[in-house]
Amino acid sequence: MAVAARTDLAFQQCIAPACGATFSIDEVLTSCPSCGNLLDVTYDWDRLPAPSSFEVFERKWMRRSDPLALSGVWRFHELLPFAPRESVVTIGEGQTLLSVSDGVGRYVGMNAGQLHLQYEGLNPSGSFKDNGMSAAFSHARMIGATRAACASTGNTSASLAVYCAVTRLMRGIIFIGSGKISYGKLSQALDYGALTIQITGDFDDAMARVKEVASKMGIYLVNSVNPFRLEGQKTIMFRVLESLGWEVPDWIVVPGGNLGNSSSFGKAFAELRHLGLIDRIPRLAVINAAGANTLHELFHNRGLRWNGGHTDLAPVCHYYDELDRDGKRADTLASAIEINRPVNLNKCLRALEVCDGVVREVSEQEILDAKAQVGAGGLGCEPASAASVAGARKLVNEGVIGRDDRVVCILTGHQLKDPNATVAYHTTDQKLFNEVLGSRGVSRASYANRAVSVGNRFDEIVQAIDLYS
Ligand SMILES: *Cc1c(COP(=O)(O)O)cnc(C)c1O
Ligand SMILES: [Zn+2]
């Protein structure tokens, strides 16, 4: 169906060009009813009052008493214009920070001033998920949903739970797998009062189940198959550009789990270019953990491509059959990206095409060492987030990223999300190290900051301080 056939300014559209079916934004869909592919939120930009320069967003900084201007998502409302102002849900998300980190930059192999960290840990629930959740909640409010559900490795559930608790708009229902959720995240879901359903199985199982339950029970699904969520996540890129004085960096490096973030970044840049707000698109690097490396395997090793929308999905099915046959499950300490069947795979392939992207995988050792460097640099993050820094380092080593390129690594979640991994890395307790990290193939804590044990005696303490400071 042609875009011109619609009279609405925002609608949902199947991402497969061969299908292209469109649906009203009032419909609740997580895939195309005609062909099963993913859906986009599409805008009729020609008829929308789209901004002709970035200034309109800067001007909002003066109106921070307006919740929509304060929000790091809704400050960019004109670039995700699916919700009328009165439907917008915000709890102050997106107050994030882009900073140059020369310490981490040195570790990555970059020249001074070039490595930037986009710290999404500052969001209300401590991860980037809040960007998307505020958009999903705005849509849910438009259509009058009363219950929302998600499957989660932890952060989506924490985000859903806090939006439910603050707004009281919906009852939150969370599906988690057994054993693989970090306590920082689980504690948030419980504390904020969400209904938490733990099923036997892993994230991929929980994801498949929640889709079924949500569609049969008419519960609003807030996983990133929800196209409205990804609209909110586009704003991470808008804030990166804003922090760089609207200059486009050379590289965006992001961890890849369900691939919603990477997908939304590609859409953000494609739209900004379409609107003439940027004339160049940064390259995208999506980083998998080696223990959950479906995208790396399919894109990097097996040549799977978006191919203008004519993706040959046969290798994907074949690969998933292989996983089943071998009983292979996603397995990484970076629990937020411990996913083997990324729901946004096809959209991510499109983003990789738009952004001339690359995919790499990093080991547990590389992730934890990078995480320690990020912590020492002052912005603590959870293991999954550090995959971006570890991946950047790998790409600099390979000469794919130049030492003088301007690079932005996305730190997706806060350090306190997963304190176990951090303590186990820095511990002097070899047994704890072996239990948590050694068993996962981490052989050393290259940048451990070990506690110094002394007796409770003044002279011993003075001696220790003299020796170590
Ligand atoms: C959800 C999450 C990811 C993965 O993001 P996707 O959009 O699913 O690829 C990475 N890091 C953290 C901290 C997350 O919460
Ligand atoms: Zn379709």
What number does the ligand 1 atom closest to the CA of 259 have?
9
Ligand 1 center to 455 CA (angstroms): 43
Confidence check: pLDDT of 79 > 90: yes
Ligand 1 center to 47 CA (angstroms): 34
Instruction: Answer yes or no: is the C-beta of 259 below 6 A from any ligand 1 atom.
Output: yes
Cα(312)–Cα(434) distance, rounded to whole angstroms?
43
Could you tell me if residue 182 is left (phi over 0), alpha (psi between -120 and 50 degrees) or otherwise beta?
A: beta
Instruction: Answer yes or no: is the C-beta of 232 below 6 A from any ligand 1 atom.
Output: no
Q: Between 5 and 386, whose confidence is greater?
A: 386
Nearest to 130 by CA among 90, 165, 170, 99: 90
What number does the ligand 1 atom closest to the CA of 263 have?
7
Q: In what order do the strands lie in the sheet with 115-119?
A: 97-100, 115-119, 407-411, 251-255, 283-289, 358-362
Which ligand does the CA of 417 lie closest to? Answer: 1
pLDDT for 45-73, tens place per residue? 999 988 989 999 999 988 989 999 999 99
Cα(377)–Cα(116) distance, rounded to whole angstroms?
12
pLDDT for 306-345, tens place per residue? 999 998 889 999 999 999 999 999 999 999 999 999 999 9
* Nearest residue by C-alpha to atom 13 in ligand 1: 413
Ligand 2 center to 226 CA (angstroms): 15
Q: Do 148 and 133 meet the contact criterion of CB atoms below 8 Å apart?
A: no
- Which residues contact residue 349 at a Cβ distance below 8 angstroms, ignoring those fewer than 6 apart? 299, 304, 305, 306, 311
What number does the ligand 1 atom closest to the CA of 258 have?
8
Instruction: Answer yes or no: is the C-beta of 182 below 6 A from any ligand 1 atom.
Output: no
CB atoms within 10 A of CB 220: 22
Instruction: Answer yes or no: is the C-beta of 266 below 6 A from any ligand 1 atom.
Output: no
Q: Do 93 and 163 meet the contact criterion of CB atoms below 8 Å apart?
A: no
Confidence check: pLDDT of 11 > 90: yes
Confidence check: pLDDT of 430 > 50: yes
Number of helices and strands (H, E) in the chain? 17, 13
Confidence check: pLDDT of 4 > 80: no
pLDDT > 70 in the chain, percent: 99
- What pTM, to 2 d.p., does this model score? 0.96
Domains of the chain: 10-43 (no CATH), 97-125+229-421 (3.40.50.1100), 126-225 (3.40.50.1100)
Instruction: Answer yes or no: is the C-beta of 129 below 6 A from any ligand 1 atom.
Output: yes
Instruction: Answer yes or no: is the C-beta of 418 below 6 A from any ligand 1 atom.
Output: no
Residue holding tokens 């479906």? 294
Ligand 1 center to 242 CA (angstroms): 22
Strand partners, 119: 97, 411
The reported pLDDT for the residue numbered 179 is 67
Ligand 2 center to 214 CA (angstroms): 20
Instruction: Answer yes or no: is the C-beta of 258 below 6 A from any ligand 1 atom.
Output: yes
Ligand 2 center to 232 CA (angstroms): 23
Q: Most distant CA pair in the chain: distance in Å?
A: 82
Instruction: Answer yes or no: is the C-beta of 382 below 6 A from any ligand 1 atom.
Output: yes
Report residue 169: phi and psi, to 5°. Answer: -80, -35
Confidence check: pLDDT of 5 > 80: no
pLDDT for 160-217, tens place per residue? 999 999 999 999 999 988 866 788 898 999 999 999 998 998 888 898 999 999 999 9
Going by pLDDT thresholds of 50, 70 and 90, the confidence category of residue 1 is very low
Strand partners, 42: 11
Ligand 2 center to 22 CA (angstroms): 8
Residue holding tokens 């390259």? 283
- Which residues contact residue 17 at a Cβ distance below 8 angstroms, ignoring those fewer than 6 apart? 308, 309, 310
User: Coil, strand or helix: which one is 276?
Assistant: coil
Ligand 1 center to 216 CA (angstroms): 27
Cα(306)–Cα(169) distance, rounded to whole angstroms?
38
Q: Do 372 and 447 meet the contact criterion of CB atoms below 8 Å apart?
A: yes
- Which residues contact residue 242 at a Cβ distance below 8 angstroms, ignoring those fewer than 6 apart? 54, 57, 58
Instruction: Answer yes or no: is the C-beta of 123 below 6 A from any ligand 1 atom.
Output: no
Cα(95)–Cα(86) distance, rounded to whole angstroms?
21
Residue holding tokens 């201007």? 69
How far, in whole angstroms, is CA 56 from its chain's centroid? Answer: 26
Q: Do 335 and 153 meet the contact criterion of CB atoms below 8 Å apart?
A: yes
The reported pLDDT for the residue numbered 2 is 46
pLDDT for 122-157, tens place per residue? 999 999 999 999 999 999 999 999 999 999 889 999
pLDDT for 334-368, tens place per residue? 999 999 999 999 999 999 999 999 999 999 999 99
Cβ-defined contacts of 111-114 (< 8 Å, 24+): 111/403, 111/404, 114/403, 114/404, 114/405, 114/406, 114/407
Could you tell me if residue 335 is left (phi over 0), alpha (psi between -120 and 50 degrees) or otherwise beta?
A: alpha
On the 0-12 / 13-18 / 19+ scale of CB atoms within 10 A, 330 is buried
HEC string of 313-374 equals: CHHHHHHHHHHHHCCCCCCCCCHHHCCCCCCCHHHHHHHHHHCCCEEEEECHHHHHHHHHHH
